[in-house]
Amino acid sequence: MSAADLLPLLRGLTWTVALTAGAFLIGAVLGVPLLAARQSRLWPLRFLAMTAIQIVRAIPPILWLFIIFFGLGMGVMPISPFNAALMGLGLIAAANMAEIYRGAVASIHFGQWEASAALDLGRWSIFRDIIAPQAFRVALPSAASYLIGLMKETAVASTIGVAELAYQGNQLSQLTFRGLEVFALVGLFYVLLSLPIAWLSRVADGYLRAKVAR
Amino acid sequence: MFPTQDEISAWLPDLLGGLSISLQVTGLSLLIGIPFGLVLALGVLAKNRLLKGVSLFLVEVGRGAPALVLLQFIYFGLPSTGLTLSSFSAAIIALAWNTGAYTSEIIRASLQSVALGQREAAEALGLSRFDELRYVLLPQGLRVALPALLGFSILIFQGTSLCFTIALPELVSRAYEIGSTTFRYFPALLAAGVLYAAISIPAAFLVNHVEKRAGLYAQR
């Protein structure tokens, strides 16, 4: 293996980062309405959201990617590997983020709800001004560890031909016949990628904690 | 869009065969992985520097690298050292490693959750280190760890789907094969999804139930 062999791995790295960031963004945004539906006062909506979350989490990521890429892609409308992976992982991230948000909201002391109700704030206003800012701080560490998990999950996108890290590793190992070194290197890249996320989350957590600990 | 009656009866034996392999891999990985996790947890807690270092390394690699990469490292990588494994045993080794790494953290946290007085009492009674672990720490710690271990078991069951990449004929591989021969991808993959959900969803409810029960016990 030479330095030139590393180039495809670095190219794969950018795809892994793009896929992770994209899927996480989709999940973090879609998780909010999903949480709202999950906590809705209308039971059909609540039931629907709960079922959707259960089903999304019950099926392995690789199967979701196949259902979207081969199932929808061959049957309904053609879809590129990257978009299929983004859709599948975004869907999974949304279900998981909704659960993370739910846990964070549940951790807020009920006195906060009562106090807001006593102040006659509306339901939306309670959520936006009182609950969400506090819940955000609670959700941050779990969201960061989920982001690391999601980053590793993106490796399954290699199975539908997204040229990310695991895919490039696979190609390189077939090209050089040095699977041991190549896959060790790929594993190392994933570990290295997770370090800045863990560090950022610790810094952000410390900053937010310092803000409330007056 | 959906599989017809005839297709279901034609595909079902094949898919169930795949499911059975997925379940076998899950069972064996957990059977090897959880005791391995206990060993790793004890290794990380050990005073011996070498033991601690090796355990930490195995835990960090097993958790830090994606399961897919572990799988390919063992199946495609190890043969270059002269060690060739069948896809079934490679799957079990990789997933057991993954299980061991994750469960070691669960087990370590649960052992450390046992009140310090219990360890002191065990020492005061003159129990050996092994007896302390066997009769005092594990019975109390594992009760705390049980819900998390069961939850992780569902993830490993889903993780067996990664073995598609090393040509193990498990559920996803079978569904994909049916799809590529009949060109009915969506119905075949959907059928596999239903089979996964049929196991994962009841299992998730069971974990929820156990979690509540374990909580009740601790509250008494």
pLDDT, average across residues B67-89 = 91
Which residue of chain B is at minimal alpha-carbon distance from A53?
A: B201
ipTM: 0.88
What's the CATH code of the domain at B186? 1.10.3720.10
Nearest to A166 among B66, B80, B196 (CB): B66
Comparing C-alpha atoms, which of A103, A110, A113 is closest to residue A139? A103
CB B187 within 8 A of CB B3: yes
Q: Which of A56, A183, A185, A191 to mutate to test the interface with B (most CBs of B within 10 A)?
A: A183
B135-149 tens-digit pLDDT = 999 999 988 899 999
CATH superfamily, domain at A12-163: MetI-like (1.10.3720.10)
Domain that holds residue B210: 5-219
Residue spans of alpha helices (H) in A76-177: 81-106, 110-118, 123-125, 132-153, 165-176
User: Which residues in A lie closer than 8 A to residue B1 (C-beta atoms)?
Assistant: 75
**Structure pTM?**
0.90
> How does residue B82 score in pLDDT terms, banded at 50, 70 and 90?
confident
> How does residue B220 score in pLDDT terms, banded at 50, 70 and 90?
very low
- For chain B, what is the domain count? 1
**pLDDT value of residue B7:** 87
Percent over 90 (pLDDT), chain A: 72
**Longest Cα pair distance anywhere in chain A, in angstroms?**
70
- d(C-alpha A19, C-alpha A86), whole Å: 6
The Cα-based distances of A80 to A10, A160, A162 in angstroms read 22, 9, 9
Contact A184 B176 (CB under 8 A): no
Structure-token pair, residue B174: 């079978």
pLDDT, average across residues A180-206 = 90
Instruction: Produce one character per residue of A46-69: b if its CB has 16 or more CB atoms within 10 Å, e if not.
Output: eeebeebbebbbbbbbbbbbbbbb
pLDDT, average across residues B28-42 = 96
pLDDT, average across residues A43-63 = 95
Q: Is B66 on the interface with A (CB under 8 A)?
A: yes
B155-180 tens-digit pLDDT = 999 999 999 999 999 999 999 999 99
Q: Is B167 on the interface with A (CB under 8 A)?
A: no
Q: Which of A62, A159, A194 to mutate to test the interface with B (most CBs of B within 10 A)?
A: A62
Q: Residue A10 CB: number of other CB atoms within 10 A?
A: 11
CB A184 within 8 A of CB A24: no
Nearest to B201 among A58, A159, A170 (CB): A58
- d(C-alpha B79, C-alpha A2), whole Å: 21
A65-74 tens-digit pLDDT = 999 999 998 8
Nearest to B165 among A57, A70, A159 (CB): A159
- List phi, psi (to 5°) of A60: -60, 145
**pLDDT value of residue B5:** 86
